[in-house]
């Protein structure tokens, strides 16, 4: 392993450990991903207002990547109609984020933020099965760990 790659791996490990990802349950990781996407959407709005188009583009791109990660985590065999509906909604959000980025449209960023926040609030109200509570959060909506 070269020094550059080794350094990157060490940096990633440090960040991952600090953010709790390494020990997080699949349920918690989904929560963290949704919160991360919402943070990036919010940051993009502020950057548009300040005229930082490059920064806005990075934040929107990161939000799109996170939402696409959420899409890839869906298990359509287990989740059935719920997973299909989430997949369609995530697809819509990604398309809207691309449109918002091209047109610097804060209203569309707000719309996507509201949609994602609604999903996150629903997810937050499902008990985490790994926390010893009843319920099967990840399986009920077809999230593969």
Q: What tens digit of pLDDT does each residue of 80-95 get?
A: 999 999 999 999 999 9
pLDDT for the residue 16: 52
Reported pTM: 0.77
Distance CA 85, CA 83 (A): 5
Does 51 map to a domain? yes
Backbone φ/ψ region at 20: left (φ over 0), alpha (ψ -120 to 50), beta: left
Number of domains into which the chain is organized:
1
Segment 108-131 mean pLDDT: 93
Instruction: Kindly report the CATH number assigned to the domain that includes residue 72.
Output: 1.20.120.340
Does 106 map to a domain? yes
Decide if pLDDT at 120 tops 80.
yes
Give the rounded percent of residues in the chain with a pLDDT score beyond 90: 64
Does 128 map to a domain? yes
Does 107 map to a domain? yes
pLDDT for the residue 4: 45
Does 16 map to a domain? no
Question: Residue 128's domain spans which residues?
Answer: 25-140
Q: Quote the DSSP letter at residue 134.
A: S
Does 56 map to a domain? yes
Q: Which residue has the tokens 């696409």?
A: 68
> 33 CB contacts (<8 Å, ≥6 apart)?
66, 69, 70
Does 59 map to a domain? yes
Decide if pLDDT at 138 tops 90.
no
Does residue 62 or residue 22 have the better pLDDT? 62
Does 10 map to a domain? no
Segment 111-124 mean pLDDT: 96
* One-character DSSP codes across 27-72: HHHHHHHHHHHHHHHHHHHHHHHHT-HHHHHHHHHHHHHHHHHHHH
Q: What tens digit of pLDDT does each residue of 17-43 get?
A: 555 666 778 888 899 999 999 999 999
Q: To 10 degrees, what angle do helices 106-124 and 76-103 make?
A: 160
């Amino acid at each position: 392993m070269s020094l550059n790659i080794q350094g990157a791996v060490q940096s990633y490990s440090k960040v991952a450990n600090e953010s709790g990802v390494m020990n997080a349950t699949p349920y918690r990781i989904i929560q963290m991903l949704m919160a991360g996407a919402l943070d990036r959407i919010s940051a993009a709005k502020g950057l548009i207002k300040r005229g930082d188009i490059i920064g806005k583009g990075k934040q929107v791109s990161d939000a799109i990547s996170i939402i696409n990660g959420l899409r890839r985590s869906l298990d359509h065999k287990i989740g059935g109609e719920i997973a299909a509906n989430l997949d369609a909604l995530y697809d819509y959000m990604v398309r809207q984020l691309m449109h918002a980025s091209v047109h610097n449209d804060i209203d569309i960023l707000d719309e996507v933020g509201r949609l994602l926040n609604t999903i996150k609030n629903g997810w937050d109200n499902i008990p985490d099965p790994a926390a010893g509570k009843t319920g099967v959060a990840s399986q009920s909506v077809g999230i593969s760990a």
